[in-house]
Structure 1
């Protein structure tokens, strides 16, 4: 038995057919086993019985076709169709003297088109009583309580009611489960969206922290070191102190430009993202040697790379030089920018005191690793106590193939 219709939910449905598959199969069964047998049975009957039966069957057929094809038509509402169906079955039973088979085959219609179980039971019950009485009246001018048809009609009604209620209950439970799953899916989607939002905010905070560490923090550290040196040499080395004050001013201006770039007030500083990467690195190395007095030996290939790669190489160089200045105690730094087998390699080596890589903790190295990983590159750090440090940044970027050294 097919469950009653439920309120329509405004959800997209595949435009395959306006009638569910189960309803179409029910229509086929109804025509083959409900309408054809009476039509065949009266084919040899008297003209009055035959044509009256044909007419009643035609009315039932067209009524069903109308309500199935135009379910939204107010004139063809399901209660109207079910009333026509019940009366039509009773009329056929009256004309033929028997209607049990047609009633039993038609039972699913009451559950398909009724508004709920109570309406289905009421309509099918009324049709059962009408069919039983019409069958008795059609066989005998003086109606009496029939035995065979009445028993089949009653049994069919009870079985149909039981199956209909069971299927309706199963359908309700399925809809409840579907609604729970829909609610859970909506909750999960909301939680996932919130998690994405939080992750996005965390990623943005981490990106800003890395940018601040690699730019502003390093600049302020340089300003502090230069200011301390300038103050110490004001009397003994006034020329050197003046040079250091000039470096302080220049570093402060660069920091201001970096700060504006971070908040989006102005484009990033030109030296950070424009021009040849070798030229930019040469300027940074010259400034580092001038500020610290550490000797710098550089071999910089003229590498043609995209903006993000240039920024990554620049930041790695700045962080490595800052670590040399603060921790290494080195006298010489060697910087090599070269084309590797899969991209471009930046190698920075110092002859300082070195450190235990496994025990190292800090934001700088971790920030470099993450910055390179975002571009598909990797960072290799080799160091040991007393043997200096080697930083190798490898990026899978395309280059123009020029090998000029500057």
Structure 2
């Protein structure tokens, strides 16, 4: 694994390397070229050749770090030998060695290799200078001090980068865990919303249909002996309700159009529902249903509110008359359903049907207002915004 400093952040490492390339050329390669200019010819030739070799090697390893021709560990050996050679030719090379120190940390596989390779370069630099002069020189001292400082700074930087990498890994793990928890929460929320939607749809369609079938079946059984014609009509209504329930069931399992409601006039849709209700219950129904334009979601919501309200009248109200008024406003549609039944205390109502109607209307930007009191009947007002498009 690549453990060089900044290896976890390639853009930062490359920017640093670009900046250091200028430093190496200006402080590591150019000064020796100037220094050998007044040296004997042999020294000048060997020095320039060695500097050219170092420059070419650096260019290869920097541009092609994965090249089999000159891998970074091999380059560090070449660099150490080159620094020793230049120190021998010039009688000292502390400055060039210090300028080259960052390369041992940039190209080394790990801190241990960086310390070892830079130590070898320091030893060769000191040895090269000692072959031309006495060992106890300023160049030797500065080389040793530079090596010690380079090791200290390199290890410190490596430690800082390692700590940063650990923190980054920890933050990434925490972020991944948070994203996973958020996705699970969204999934649970979506599942809960879908269960709520299905429960509402089942209550508003299948449950109401089955309740109607039960009531009609009981009435038909009672009428069989005394009023066979009425029993036949009730059986026909049972058949129609069962077919409608079958259609709604197919909608719920996704094998039929999602709305379960054919396009058409909202007035005609509500009129058919009210006619069925009056036929099944024998209650008087007074309806004012003008032709109004509205979109399919609005039609479905108004139909479901009507069905739920009529089901409540059938089961709880003991009413004799039901009134239904459909009216248009500049910015929406109102549907009012009233009965003269026994009424109830709205604040004490815990029925799923009223909550389902409220949620359905709220999803479309509408509102449900229920007004009732014991002995005073009930008024249900559903309001929905509309853009006027059918």
Q: Which TM-score applies when normalising by structure 1?
A: 0.88
Residues 5 and 115 in structure 1, CA contact (< 8 A), matched pair in contact too: no
Equivalent residue number for residue 302 of structure 1: 291
Root mean square deviation of aligned Cα: 2.4
Higher mean C-alpha displacement, 111-120 vs 40-49: 40-49
Task: Find the partner of 2:185 among 173, 195, 220.
Answer: 195
Provide the residue aligned with 2:251 in structure 1: 261
Which of 70, 73, 88 is equivalent to 1:76? 70
Report deviation, 1:349: 2.1
Counterparts of 1:303-382 in structure 2 under 5 Å?
303-382=292-371
Choose from 188, 197, 207 the match for 1:207: 197
- The residue matched to 1:20 in structure 2 has which SS? helix
Hey, what does 2:98 align to over in structure 1? 104
The yes-or-no answer on 1:396 pairing with 2:390 is no
Partner of 2:30 in structure 1?
36
Question: Do the aligned residues in 2 keep the contact of 1:132 with 1:146 (CA within 8 Å)?
Answer: no
Deviations for 1:332-363, whole angstroms, at most 9, x for unmatched residues?
A: 22222222232222222222222222221121
What secondary structure is seen at the aligned counterpart in 2 of 1:76? coil
CA 1:269–1:201: 2 relative to 1, 3 Å: closer
Q: How many residues align?
A: 388
Structure 1 pair 216–338 and aligned structure 2 pair: CA distance change class (3 A): same
In the alignment, the residues of structure 2 paired with residue 183 and residue 252 of structure 1 have an alpha-carbon distance, to the nearest angstrom, of 55
8 Å CA contact retained: 1:336, 1:347: yes
SS at match of 2:327: strand
Preserved contact between residue 257 and residue 268 of structure 1 (Cα < 8 Å):
no
CA contact (8 A) 2:92 2:140 kept: no
Whose relative contact order is higher, 1 or 2, with alpha carbons under 8 Å and at least 6 apart? 1
Q: Distance in 2 between matches of 1:276 and 1:304?
A: 7
Runs of 5+ unmatched residues, structure 2: none
Alpha-carbon distance between aligned partners in 2 of 1:163 and 1:8, rounded to the nearest angstrom: 19
Asked if structure 2 preserves the Cα contact closer than 8 Å seen for 1:303 and 1:400, the reply is no
Paired with 1:83 and 1:198, the residues of 2 have a C-alpha distance of 60
1:174 aligned residue: 164
Q: Aligned-pair distance for 1:8?
A: 7.5
Match of 1:404 in 2: none
SS in 1 for 2:136: coil
- Note if contact 1:257-1:269 (Cα within 8 Å) is conserved in structure 2: no
- 1:214 is displaced (CA, Å) by 0.6
- In the TM superposition, what is the alpha-carbon distance from 1:213 to its structure 2 partner? 0.6
Query: Structure 1: how far apart are the matches of 2:215 and 2:363?
Result: 32
CA distance in 1, matches of 2:347, 2:42: 105
After TM superposition, the score normalised by the length of structure 2 is 0.91
Going from structure 1 to structure 2, the CA distance change for 1:18 and 1:58 (only over 3 Å counts) comes to farther
Task: Measure how far apart 1:134 and its partner are.
Answer: 0.4
Moved more, 221-230 or 376-385: 376-385
1:228 to 215, 218, 227: 218
Contact 2:88 2:128 in 1 (8 A): yes
Q: C-alpha separation between the residues in 1 aligned to 2:37 and 2:143?
A: 24
Corresponding residue number in structure 1 for 2:48 = 54
**Displacement of 1:163:** 1.2
Structure 2: how far apart are the matches of 1:40 and 1:358? Answer: 98
Task: Pick which of 62-71 and 183-192 moved more.
Answer: 183-192
Give 3-state SS (helix, strand or coil) of 2:69's partner: helix
1:265-284 equivalences under 5 Å are 265-267=255-257, 272-284=261-273
Q: CA deviation at 1:96?
A: 1.1
Report the Cα offset of residue 268 of structure 1: 6.1
Q: Is the partner of 1:265 in helix, strand or coil?
A: coil
Gaps of 5+ in 1: 402-406
